[in-house]
Chain A
Amino acid sequence: MDFSELSHQGEIRDSLDKILLGHCTPENLKKFDAALKHDEDLLSLLASQGYLGLGINETYGGSGENLYDLGILFEKLGFHAAPLSLLGCLAEVAQTIQKFSEHESHQALISSILAGDIHTSAILEPLNQDPENPLTRAQINGDQLTITGTKYLSELASISKSLLVSVNSDEGVLLVLVDTHQTNISELATTANTPTFKVDFEDITINRSAIIHAHGRGLEALRYLLQTSMVMRSYLALGITEKMTALIAAYTSEREQFGRVIGSFQAVSHRAADCFIDLECLRLVSQQAAINLNTNLDCENDALVAKIWAGNACHRISYSAQHLHGGVGVDKDYVLWRYCLLAKECELINGSASQNIDRLGLNITANQ
């Protein structure tokens, strides 16, 4: 058993902190509150320094196929509230193609992503509780697939060159790449102002070569995509809750009432301590899931446990932070409000804690 980080991981952590700290200043973050929350400059910077290759095989110029590395990136993006939504692109599209595609044309897409292009996913559907069973259909006619359906919460679809889409067909679940121009896209306004889109597929015709995986491996690839997404979102949640806990510690160590800093009241310090405990739990279950997914493409229970903790930690730490900051916490001139909104988003996407508890319960009571 070994919890030590490889030497390059500590360096990644430190350099990412430096870059993001310089870039995600309050002024800079403010610029994106009313615009499309996507910082092109930051993305180019990360691309030029190779950070988009974390978790990607060396043959593409990446750091190696290790989701722990990619987790560090999402943790740091969360910690600095970076105006970049890269889960669809880096965790879902790049990782799934890397693991399941044997086509050179699909693999070229990974190089494109490393260069800073967006290729995102379109997986979730309104009111579909079971993403492994898409309502979006592909009608197969020889070499042609005709796709009909609606996806939503697709990150950055408006600037994405292509979309990785999950569909059901007579051949079961398929993951296919679709040219974004063939679809109808409309922007959704979400609580944290994350740039997500609704994507309509109205009898779009694509070639069979757009299927990214070997025949019969669609469900396996989709399950891997969903699990990787859950785990990387847990890392995003880890960064967000780490920052909120740090804000609690700093603020309550300074703010004075009744002639002493409020952090010296047990009622306050103990609530902060509970945040620290949640944070430690979230960190460890996320790391376990990432490490296990490295060697086993199906670790659903580990991924569920990570996302359950992420959901609960996001909720509890966010409200503790709000409460312990008093009015300062809701003031938009202070930093906390952005984190609270991001926390709510992380809590609910990729399955809420209650939903994932339900799923985990099904898994562990099956085959008893």
Chain B
Amino acid sequence: MPIEDEILVVEMLIQLSPKQAKLKAELQEYFEGLITPALKSELNDPNHFEGGGPEFKKAMRTMGVDGWIGLSWKKELGGKELSPIEQYIFVETVMRTGFPFPFLTTESVGPMIAEHGSDWAKEEIATKILKGELFFGIGYSEPNSGTDLASLQTKAIKDADGYLINGQKMWTSLANVSDYIWLAARTDFEAKNHKGISMFIVPTDDPGFSMTAINTLGDVRTNATFYDNIRVPETHLVGQPNQGWSLITSQLNLERLALVNHGPVEELYKNVLKLAATTKINNDQYLTDLSWVKNNFAQVYSGIEALKLICWKQTWIMESGHLNMAEASVAKVYGSEFFIQAYRLLMEIMGELSLLKNDSELSILNAKLERIYRTASILTFGGGTNEVQRDIIAMAGLLMPRTR
């Protein structure tokens, strides 16, 4: 048997290191201070669920001053350059608080602009993102381009003064409270789909910009946005012309991982468990005395354990500089489908009380259960639909043939 001469102490530990645990504690304390009662009540308002309100903007500026924006950015760009695990801990802690931290602006768009933007973009845009003063909506999807994003048709035609942009985007969340749109547009009409796309910074105060609200099942507003002869100078192009696809896809794994972070579902599990254990039902029993209630909790618990380990392993893989496509897709599929199942099991425990809305008499847990199931369904198709993720798992993980 191949055994080393001297056996090392067992080093393998699947838990946070002391340094990581310290970061988590530090962040928890920070957010407790940041989230004031005024902010809390603003975040209960359906118009401000996802941020954009005055208290939210105030909190973001504070975070900018305190240096909590730009975690993934390189140090030379003014960021903290946290490791993937540390970023995951940040996302986890923020999400547990319910604060709608604008990850896409600060952690995806921001570092791309800081790295690939023009001088103007670096100075004007990137700096302000770091200060928490500027917000983006994401202009990727179109009415006829969703899962097949590379088929997008919004046009940016180059002329002597810059680019002329025309088209329509769908699901442009936060456009109503954003300063700019991070827009994917076609600049080469001859090239193959994904080889003719470029990325632009488009101001929402341009007269050619307009939008209509889309009200969703989860009471979260999103938008259809319209781009009618919007002219932007060349400084608004980010990266090389026709190289936009690599920018779009460069951070997909981290973004997918952020979507299925185990923090919020574990927080919800704990809160429902606490509530059920103190909720008296008939015959002086508590809800947690019922065997089926115990079973529901156990199913959620065993599911969260697996999710936590999948996410941790994924961050560990990223940390070591490797990329494992199959495992990133496992996290996305498993996490998003587990959420649906977990919310159902937890709602069952509280029964009909789970149906009561926030402003209703008798409502429980701020009606988190009532609302969360309405917002959960977007994750199985959003962020790369699970069918495509399963295709990737079969191909990259099991080396099976490409599906058609």
Q: Which residues of B contact A108 (CB under 8 A)?
A: none
Stretch at the interface among B180-188, B286-294, B364-372: B286-294
Q: Which residues of B contact A295 (CB under 8 A)?
A: 10
Chain B 309-324 against A: per-residue CB contact (8 Å), 1 yes, 0 no? Answer: 1101101110010000
Partner of B4 from A7, A49, A291 at Cβ < 8 Å: A7
| Interface residue B171 (Cβ < 8 Å from any Cβ of A) | no
Partner of B316 from A2, A264, A287, A308 at Cβ < 8 Å: A2
Name, among A1, A8, A15, the residue most crowded by chain B CB atoms within 10 Å (CB to CB): A1
Flag if A357 contacts B302 (CB, 8 Å).
yes
Partner of A269 from B14, B293, B296, B394 at Cβ < 8 Å: B394
Chain A 27-55 against B: per-residue CB contact (8 Å), 1 yes, 0 no? Answer: 00000000000000000000001110110
Flag if A274 contacts B14 (CB, 8 Å).
no
Given A1-B13, A245-B398, A270-B387, A15 contacting B288 (CB threshold 8 A): no
| Interface residue A21 (Cβ < 8 Å from any Cβ of B) | no
Stretch at the interface among A81-89, A145-153, A204-212, A275-283: A275-283
Chain A 58-77 against B: per-residue CB contact (8 Å), 1 yes, 0 no? Answer: 10000111101000000000
Q: How far is the CA of A249 from the CA of B9 in the complex (A)?
A: 38
**Minimum Cβ distance to chain B for residue A267 (Å):** 9
Q: How far is the CA of A284 from the CA of B301 in the complex (A)?
A: 15
Flag if B2 contacts A287 (CB, 8 Å).
no
Interface of chain B: mostly helix, strand, loop or mixed: helix
| Interface residue A305 (Cβ < 8 Å from any Cβ of B) | yes
| Interface residue B283 (Cβ < 8 Å from any Cβ of A) | no
Given A266-B391, A305-B302, A368 contacting B334 (CB threshold 8 A): no
| Interface residue B251 (Cβ < 8 Å from any Cβ of A) | no
Q: Which residues of B contact A68 (CB under 8 A)?
A: 10, 12
Name, among A7, A280, A357, A360, the residue most crowded by chain B CB atoms within 10 Å (CB to CB): A280
| Interface residue A188 (Cβ < 8 Å from any Cβ of B) | no
| Interface residue B274 (Cβ < 8 Å from any Cβ of A) | yes
Flag if B401 contacts A285 (CB, 8 Å).
no
Partner of A8 from B3, B12, B391, B395 at Cβ < 8 Å: B3
| Interface residue B11 (Cβ < 8 Å from any Cβ of A) | yes
Flag if A1 contacts B11 (CB, 8 Å).
no
Flag if A280 contacts B297 (CB, 8 Å).
no
**Minimum Cβ distance to chain A for residue B250 (Å):** 24
Q: How far is the CA of A292 from the CA of B273 in the complex (A)?
A: 24
Partner of A12 from B2, B17, B291 at Cβ < 8 Å: B2
Chain A 330-368 against B: per-residue CB contact (8 Å), 1 yes, 0 no? Answer: 000000000000000000000000000110111011001
Chain B 382-404 against A: per-residue CB contact (8 Å), 1 yes, 0 no? Answer: 00000101110111011111111
| Interface residue A214 (Cβ < 8 Å from any Cβ of B) | no
| Interface residue B50 (Cβ < 8 Å from any Cβ of A) | no
Q: Across the A-B interface, give the 10 residue pairs with the lowest CB-CB distance, nearest first.
A: A361-B294, A368-B277, A50-B1, A361-B298, A284-B309, A269-B394, A273-B393, A360-B298, A11-B2, A273-B390
B residues with a Cβ closer than 8 A to A are 1-4, 7-8, 10-17, 20, 85, 273-274, 276-278, 288, 291, 293-299, 301-302, 305-306, 309-310, 312-313, 315-317, 320, 326-327, 330, 333-334, 387, 389-391, 393-395, 397-404
